[in-house]
Structure 1
């Protein structure tokens, strides 16, 4: 059985992507983070790093991630899904990590209506396989215009009745129009990702544009305030994909990321009028 997540602040290693995973964990713990979310983009080419992370004994909140591949006709690439799922669940078991994060496809020309049946079937399959090792899957929508599941409402539709938790990312929330949150959504959240974005059109935001919390224009006070007012008490994770951070000393990046995350969470984030 995997260890439960600890409410607190984690570092998603997308922020230190070129740093070996164990070194990233050491930097995160040294900065004050509870632990890390670990990236398959890093572990895939460097599988030996999983054992190095395990040897350190730090907490790994999630393995990121698995993208379900669906073609323009709505057909799931089942062989690829089964192969990638098995690889990632093996990591969840060995690290151990309680969550595997799943994201929707980015197939050109794929509509939400065409993708929905296959996506729900794939999510159910992933959930059943993860349960065999005591892990859970959590689904995150992507706020990019090219994604058929680019809003919170579409993510809720995707997991409705499946017993699967959600992940919400402040950047994707903002890019999708910064919708009001609901108690139903908040009570089904596994993890919240924190980051910021520079002043730019929300529809043009890409992963590499993200910056640390407080360094952009995203209304984090409102975002965090809604979550807290509605009762969110789970883990937070600082997640950026900005290559500018990857060339900097990981200990310094982790220190800045922790300070930025703590500053965002320490602000009186009450929702106006609540």
Structure 2
């Protein structure tokens, strides 16, 4: 009997002690300590290398990543074709994941060309199948985004696509994104017959009524398509996650400039810092991805190009 009483007394003592340990006063004190530690502020920008910048060197999937890593990049945009060729040549998805892990690189976005927007129903259906397959592949290497430009509807001969139909078609691939975990980024091409202006891609994204709709814009394409920088603040901060950066020379009008004329940030006359100030978001880090297709750079050593890219991008964000 005395043993039982002793056990009850012991349990009562332990319970009281536990209650004291989690008293409101102590909880309040712990809460004050926690709130006193400021939440980590994300960096305004994440520097990323689009593999278009090294595409002319024909390095292949792994060497592109290795070159980017040695130059200091931890974030990249890959071309889906490069990953597919790597797998066709004997590599596996598991191998690709290991390469990325070993190098400490994250694939932020992928460049693909599935024809999702065209009027041809049969061809568009094949394009959706292609996109689903590519999204599933990207998901396996941890990539959460894919670029979706107006491929197939960009030439001068292409018909004008009604923007409401474009929105329906964009929503269809957003729903594929719901299933695969890879969100299609509506990419604006300034030279395209369709979706060449900020107002057009913005309308299409809004008209989908889908919460995952995102825009992929570009310094060069904003100039090429004739959009105003003042339209950028109207887009809304959630709509931009990845933004392509580059520069363009002073001696070319938007009517004659081409993709291949793009240069490193700071080597031209583009209003880069003003643009970055307009898209800067205090609540998240915008991924700035360097995209150029410059033949003069392709003639240089790949490592020289990658290191120069990192240096130019660091200078680009100073003071923004």
Shorter-chain TM band: 0.7 to 0.9
* Alignment partner of 1:190 out of 229, 238, 241: 241
* Alignment partner of 1:22 out of 62, 65, 72: 62
Q: Give the direction of change, closer, same or farther, for the CA distance of 1:24–1:187 in structure 2 (3 Å limit).
A: same
Q: How does 1:213-232 map to 2 (within 5 A)?
A: 213-228=265-280
Q: Give the direction of change, closer, same or farther, for the CA distance of 1:53–1:10 in structure 2 (3 Å limit).
A: farther
Give the total of aligned pairs.
Answer: 259
Structure 2: runs of 5 or more not aligned: 1-43
Distance in 2 between residues matched to 1:178 and 1:151, nearest whole Å: 6
2:261 is aligned to 209
1:168 is aligned to 217
Task: Describe the superposition over 1:89-116 as per-residue Cα deviations: whole angstroms up to 9, x where unpaired.
Answer: 132122120101100131434454x342
Secondary structure of 1:8 counterpart: strand
Instruction: Please report the TM-score for the alignment, with normalisation by the length of structure 1.
Output: 0.84
Q: How does 1:1-274 map to 2 (within 5 A)?
A: 8-17=46-55, 18-48=58-88, 51=93, 52-56=95-99, 57=101, 58-68=105-115, 70=117, 74-76=119-121, 77-104=123-150, 105-112=153-160, 114-144=161-191, 146-160=192-206, 161-163=209-211, 164-179=213-228, 180=230, 181-199=232-250, 200-228=252-280, 233-266=285-318, 268-269=319-320
Shift of 1:240: 0.9
Distance in 2 between residues matched to 1:12 and 1:53, nearest whole Å: 17
Structure 1: runs of 5 or more not aligned: 1-5, 270-274
Secondary structure of 1:198 counterpart: coil
Shift of 1:243: 3.0
Question: Which has the higher mean CA deviation after the structures are superposed, 254-263 or 115-124?
Answer: 115-124
Question: Which has the higher mean CA deviation after the structures are superposed, 229-238 or 184-193?
Answer: 229-238
**CA RMSD, 1 decimal:** 2.4
**Structure with higher helix content:** 2
Question: Quick check: 2:218–2:244 contact (8 Å CA) kept in 1?
Answer: yes
Distance in 2 between residues matched to 1:203 and 1:170, nearest whole Å: 15
Question: Which has the higher mean CA deviation after the structures are superposed, 91-100 or 115-124?
Answer: 115-124
Question: Which has the higher mean CA deviation after the structures are superposed, 45-54 or 164-173?
Answer: 45-54
Distance in 1 between residues matched to 2:210 and 2:274, nearest whole Å: 29
Distance in 2 between residues matched to 1:135 and 1:210, nearest whole Å: 28
Distance in 2 between residues matched to 1:229 and 1:35, nearest whole Å: 19
Instruction: Please report the TM-score for the alignment, with normalisation by the length of structure 2.
Output: 0.73
Question: Quick check: 1:11–1:239 contact (8 Å CA) kept in 2?
Answer: yes
Question: Quick check: 1:187–1:231 contact (8 Å CA) kept in 2?
Answer: no
Question: Quick check: 1:27–1:254 contact (8 Å CA) kept in 2?
Answer: yes
Q: Give the direction of change, closer, same or farther, for the CA distance of 1:15–1:54 in structure 2 (3 Å limit).
A: same
